[in-house]
């Protein structure tokens, strides 16, 4: 994959074992400006997670992002078709000027519930956003990576770790092409 050579930052935990997330020095409300507008996307999604699966499902989608809250937030709509059925996802991203951290929330037409946010920031046009979560009954850490080094063709990817970040399984890639 295009951004597999990028390292995931080493995770740090507090004395209670909770993940510590700190903003980069350069983090700002402008970090997602590259994504504003419309994109076509080629998705590559792992068929089954944490199962030594090597089978990927590929499908097209579209996305449109616009800014809200005077630029400290943005919303996008993700449109795809799965098994002949329309699917819609929505992302809400909010920048906290006090902490300089972004929180990214996801919901979709299957659940109607906002997921727990992934939190992080960008450095050198690459963003890493983390959350502690539960996947199929196991404690996991999830990371979203935004690789915006090529701002006309950004790549979003997602990985999970069930061993506190020692090993990661990449399970979804979105290869985007800006259309507007």
Question: What is the full DSSP assignment across 41-91?
Answer: EEEEEESSTTS----EEEEEEEEEEEEEGGGTEEEEEEEEEETTEEEEEEE
> 59 pLDDT exceeds 90?
yes
- How would residue 83 be classed by pLDDT, with cut points 50, 70 and 90? confident
pTM of the entire predicted model: 0.91
Residue 136, SS3 per DSSP: coil
Give all domains of the chain, ordered by start, each with its CATH number.
28-178 (2.40.128.20)
What pLDDT digit, counting tens, does each position of 96-153 carry?
999 999 999 999 999 999 999 999 999 999 999 999 998 999 999 999 999 999 999 9
Q: Are 97 and 11 in contact (CB under 8 A)?
A: no
């Amino acid at each position: 994959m295009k951004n597999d050579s990028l390292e995931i930052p080493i995770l740090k935990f507090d004395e209670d074992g909770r993940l510590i997330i700190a903003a980069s020095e350069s983090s700002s409300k402008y970090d997602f400006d590259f994504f504003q507008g419309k994109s076509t996307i080629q998705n590559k999604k792992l068929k089954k997670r944490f199962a030594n699966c090597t089978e990927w499902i590929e499908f097209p989608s579209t996305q449109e992002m616009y800014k809200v809250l005077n630029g400290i937030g943005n919303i996008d709509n993700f449109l795809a078709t799965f098994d002949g059925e329309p699917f819609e996802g929505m992302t809400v991203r909010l920048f906290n000027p006090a902490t300089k951290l972004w929180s990214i929330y996801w919901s979709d037409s299957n659940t109607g519930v906002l997921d727990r946010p992934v939190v992080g920031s960008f450095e050198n046009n690459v963003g890493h956003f983390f959350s502690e979560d539960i996947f199929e009954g196991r404690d996991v850490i999830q990371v979203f990576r935004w690789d915006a080094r090529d701002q006309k063709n950004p790549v979003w990817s997602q990985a999970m770790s069930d061993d506190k970040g020692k090993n990661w399984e990449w399970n979804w890639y979105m290869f985007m092409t800006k259309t507007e």
